[in-house]
Structure 1
């Protein structure tokens, strides 16, 4: 079972991270043969698919590399200046696994997948613009609503800053905060059907997470960095820039369950503000009980929404198709009753295709 979960995780890297794919396929074979991977993963044989043990394994190894404690393996990791040689990658990983078996097992057991991919801020920015415009139109306003942004599963809160990023849409076009030190190449196909030149005003931002990461600490920054696939330097560079931005303007992330936090935050309406509940690539980690409770809490808030204090749900999550999975950006607003599939894109948010359709 565990070897199959490693293989499944490897497939998710196919075509985008040859290093991680090769590492996980080799680990799956080693585990099946009773090799050192069985000792590293001891106690995790019954881990749920949604906890993605293969990615936790890869992150634990990457962290040793980032800490300078696996020099032979580091020669294969571009994040520290190496160059992958897939034919000898597993050979370089084996001594690290043997030397650090107990530490790796402990770290894998103590961590959850924490990508907090800042590239998802690009579709979030566009989705918030659509939501703010739609709520204003329904309320008969001439200007978009300001936004109160609430994120479930916020990790380190890196995606709570979409208004503080410059989004490059073409050679000569930048929207968002044009003076930001963080410029993101959105790689959009199409555009959301709103005026993107209007400023996105976020007047309140907060998140929750069962295991929030404090990126003001070296441990926190290493934890997030270790989950980047080491041969994806564009993602690595985006993350490092987002970490620097968060250090200057941190957003609060509360350590609590989603339903409990959401009930507290939605108990009171915010007059003249659009409250947006947001989550991205987190639903697979949420228990069925918490999902049901969260839906009930949101339904109560929907019943209290008014044109002057509207509510929106904006999510970027995978949806199964006949060919695999697609990541869709979905929007609902209340009381306007807007329900839209805004588009789809990479699980990392970049690239993204805008294709607005009704969402049932």
Structure 2
């Protein structure tokens, strides 16, 4: 039932985005009553949980605000200078929902959730340092490998430039201190790597079924709409990441993941560690594509050598035993032919904060 999926999405926002939680809770109740939300979501009644229809609805509404189409609602949205007042949020949303119901319905049906959260570059950066150094140790090299980064589900490609981001620790800034994007990684502990070694990225590429062109206003609005509007730090972080992307463009290819990955992995590079990376996309991938992707990776892993190693580095939610939590986001690393398989730690879904806690990946 669609109202239940909206309520589940609202629950996922608890303690993190009161604005989005209240909007989706009220929208779920409106769906049950057959109100304007039902008209907006017409055609999406059979959506599966992984497509997150509630967040697509919230993103479409946020975009109305960003475009200046919902002045009454804008007073609640900090991304345009507003201040949330939850008791009147739904009342002030209704005029925009009725006026733009057709536009909202088209956008909900045409879009997929694409947060492309740049904060995930923080655990990615640490994971890449570990991967490059562990692969070098297994190959009996004294210098860490250079990295070729391949991202599946790259969206707008904002996490394809981890070496051009600054990461502020207590006593120094790792990466690029002069970057437009300087993150506070909020690390507890440190990655099991020598942080004095600089990450060297010699190639990067990405694919997505629905790539976002962040060089366009439409692309920037699309990604911006999926930031929860009362999370101002995330909003500012995205602004900085878009500024960085403008100075360092990387094209994201439109392609299914397994097909694209097979093409990329057909070419091995000597003295380079190839890292396959994805973050918070697995839930959106069909079972058939998951199986195909695993097969492609397994084939490449069998061909990996000490001088042309392969790594899988992922940041995805995994179920945990605690019913109050349900799942947590973990950074997982596999290395071939070294045979290394590590759970590097866990953090918030947006990448920060993150706790380094190395255990076997089982």
Normalising by structure 2, report the TM-score.
0.99
Give the structure 1 partner of residue 339 of structure 2: 337
| 8 A contact 1:135–1:145 mirrored in 2 | yes
CA distance in 1, matches of 2:94, 2:75: 14
Q: Which residue of 1 aligns with 2:202?
A: 203
Task: Please list the CA deviations of residues 199-224 of structure 1 after superposition, one character each: whole Å capped at 9, or x if unmatched.
Answer: 10000000000000001000000000
- 1:281 corresponding residue in structure 2: 280
Aligned ranges for residues 24-103 of structure 1 at < 5 Å? 24-103=24-103
Q: CA deviation at 1:181?
A: 2.2
Mapped partners of 2:230, 2:316: distance in 1? 24
Structure 2: distance between partners of 1:349 and 1:13: 16
The 5 Å alignment of 1:289-300 reads: 289-300=288-299
Give the equivalent residue in structure 2 for 1:271: 270
Distance 1:14 1:190 in 2: 27
* Runs (4+) off by over 3 Å: none
**What runs of 5+ residues in structure 2 fail to find an aligned partner?**
none
Q: What is the aligned partner in structure 1 of residue 240 from structure 2?
A: 241
How does 1:300-339 map onto structure 2 within 5 Å?
300-323=299-322, 324-339=326-341
Residue 251 of structure 1 and its aligned partner are, at CA, apart by: 1.3
How many angstroms does 1:322 deviate by?
2.2
Aligned counterparts of 1:181 and 1:50: Cα–Cα separation in 2: 33
Equivalent runs, 1:175-254 vs 2, <5 Å:
175-254=174-253
Preserved CA contact (<8 Å) 1:168 1:186? yes
Q: Which runs of 5+ in 1 are unaligned?
A: none
Q: Cα deviations across residues 100-142 of structure 1 (Å, max 9, x unaligned)?
A: 0000000000100010000000000000000000000001110
3-state SS of paired residue (1:158): coil
CA distance in 2, matches of 1:193, 1:312: 16
Give the match's secondary structure for 1:167. strand
Aligned 8 A contact 2:180 2:241 in 1: no
Whether the aligned pair in 2 keeps the contact of 1:121 and 1:162 (CA below 8 Å) is yes
TM-score (norm 1): 0.99
Instruction: State the number of aligned residues.
Output: 359
Deviation of 1:267 (Å): 0.6
Are 2:129 and 2:199, in contact at CA under 8 Å, matched by a contact in 1? Answer: yes
SS at match of 1:247: helix
2:314/2:332 contact within 8 Å kept: yes
Paired position in structure 2 for 1:127: 127
Return the offset for 1:197: 1.8
Tell whether the 8 Å contact from 2:180 to 2:243 is kept in structure 1 after alignment. Answer: no
Aligned to 2:260, what secondary structure does the other structure show?
helix
Partners of 1:176 and 1:197 within 8 A in 2: no
RMSD: 0.6
Kept in 1: contact 2:186–2:353 (CA 8 A)? yes
1:179: Cα distance to partner?
Answer: 2.1
Deviation at residue 321 of structure 1 after TM alignment: 1.1
Partner of 1:139: 139
Structure 2 CA distance, aligned partners of 1:233 and 1:155? 21
